[in-house]
């Protein structure tokens, strides 16, 4: 596909740790790219992708399709216009039932058709385990970040869009662990992360063992808390909860999933931009900022410390010394097994 001159655009739908190299190869070959979220698996990969794509003439669209959803667009517009006043706190959450307890203990026999070495690629060599393969690769820090880079990418993307995506992180801290599910996952089944910005705080919360059933919740959402009221937004719609003793805003309820179709609009936006050569709604600048949020959260959790973030060096620079070291090691994990972030990406590569 990469070598085919008749192919103008490619779609990357591989596991998270295999988003970067296929995208780089496609860009090198002059192809436009639609890549599923998240952008990548490490901050070094994010830097490399941003620099490569911005120096090219190619169109890049990230699969964070909520930005193409009518209700998310309306909610963001209301937040930015001050409908609920000055927002000082944003809460994102995702609670579901991703229980795979017991799977993968002990190691399972590898299917004959699977090239396991190619699958693990640049990550540490481990024996085959079906839990590390599709779909459950998400629960292993070698390949992903768990829910914070999975569902968190969708939710945190909308949060920073509404609040100003170019605002820099000041500090980040994460807490949680594997408290309920007893399997071989290495990402937490319970997680809380908080980022501090200059003028607001942002949080992401997840439990992977107890879905939301309150008020027919879809199990995920974003709460914006302002000086005149609060707004909840999710894939079913949005709702404004004004303060009863403050007449600054009126209650609003929009709840019709049929009007909130995101996927078709997102694909159409990419196709239109392939033709027009305009920047799509989730271009590399958008995807990069969202990736920084999610990946700093992952690294902070793994460090076990509250950390300061330096946007100029794109590294953790303050806080517990050991925590800073651990976080930066995860942020800039080296490629292994002959793989590289520079072309040809793998010596002796054969497609």
Distance separating alpha carbons of residues 306 and 294, to the nearest angstrom: 15
Q: Domain for residue 118, yes or no?
A: yes
Q: Domain for residue 180, yes or no?
A: yes
- Say which CATH number the domain at 137 has: 3.30.360.10
Q: Domain for residue 198, yes or no?
A: yes
Q: Domain for residue 311, yes or no?
A: no
Whole-model pTM: value is: 0.95
Q: Domain for residue 225, yes or no?
A: yes
Q: Which domain holds residue 135?
A: 71-259
Q: Domain for residue 347, yes or no?
A: no
Domain total of the chain: 1
Instruction: Name the CA radius of gyration of the chain, rounded.
Output: 20
Q: Domain for residue 24, yes or no?
A: no
- Output the tens digit of pLDDT for each of the chain's 351 residues: 888 999 999 999 999 999 999 999 999 999 999 999 999 999 999 999 999 999 999 999 999 999 999 999 999 999 999 999 999 999 999 998 776 656 556 667 899 999 999 999 999 999 999 889 998 999 999 999 999 999 999 999 999 999 999 999 999 999 999 999 888 899 999 999 999 999 999 999 999 988 876 655 678 999 999 999 999 999 989 999 998 766 678 889 888 766 568 999 999 999 999 999 999 999 999 999 999 999 999 999 999 999 999 999 999 998 899 999 999 999 999 999 999 999 999 976 655
Q: Domain for residue 79, yes or no?
A: yes
Residue 226: Cβ-neighbour burial (10 angstroms; 0-12, 13-18, 19+): buried
Asked if residue 38 has a cis previous peptide bond (ω within 30° of 0), the answer is yes
Distance separating alpha carbons of residues 21 and 144, to the nearest angstrom: 15
């Amino acid at each position: 596909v990469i070598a085919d001159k008749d192919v103008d655009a490619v779609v990357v739908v591989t596991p998270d740790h295999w988003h970067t190299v296929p995208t780089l190869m496609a860009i090198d070959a002059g192809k436009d790219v639609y890549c599923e979220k998240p952008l990548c698996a490490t901050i070094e990969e994010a830097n490399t992708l941003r620099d490569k794509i911005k120096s090219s003439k190619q169109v890049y669209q990230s699969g964070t399709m909520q930005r193409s959803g009518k209700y998310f667009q309306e909610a963001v517009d209301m937040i930015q216009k001050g409908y609920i006043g000055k927002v000082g706190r944003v809460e994102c959450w995702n609670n579901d039932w991703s229980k795979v307890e017991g799977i993968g203990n002990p190691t399972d026999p590898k299917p004959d058709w699977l090239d396991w070495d190619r699958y693990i690629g640049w990550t540490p060599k481990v024996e085959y385990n079906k839990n590390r393969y599709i779909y459950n690769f998400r629960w292993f820090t070698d390949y992903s970040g768990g829910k914070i880079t999975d569902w968190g990418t969708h939710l945190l993307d909308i949060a920073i869009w509404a609040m100003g995506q170019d605002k820099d992180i000041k500090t980040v801290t994460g807490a949680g662990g594997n408290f309920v599910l007893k399997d071989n996952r290495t990402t937490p089944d319970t997680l809380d992360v908080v980022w501090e910005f200059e003028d607001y705080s942002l949080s992401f919360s997840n439990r992977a063992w107890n879905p939301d059933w309150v008020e027919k919740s879809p199990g995920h959402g974003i709460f914006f808390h302002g000086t005149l009221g609060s707004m909840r937004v999710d894939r079913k719609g949005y709702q404004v909860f004004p303060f009863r003793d403050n007449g600054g805003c009126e209650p609003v309820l929009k709840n019709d999933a049929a009007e909130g179709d995101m996927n078709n609009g997102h694909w159409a936006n990419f196709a239109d931009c392939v033709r027009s050569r305009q920047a799509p709604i989730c271009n590399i600048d958008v995807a990069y900022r969202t990736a920084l949020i999610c990946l700093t959260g992952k690294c902070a959790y793994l460090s076990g410390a509250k950390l300061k973030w330096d946007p100029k060096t794109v590294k953790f620079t303050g806080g517990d010394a050991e925590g800073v070291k651990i976080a930066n090691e995860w942020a800039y994990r080296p490629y292994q097994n002959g793989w590289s972030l520079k072309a040809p990406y793998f010596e002796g590569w054969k497609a």
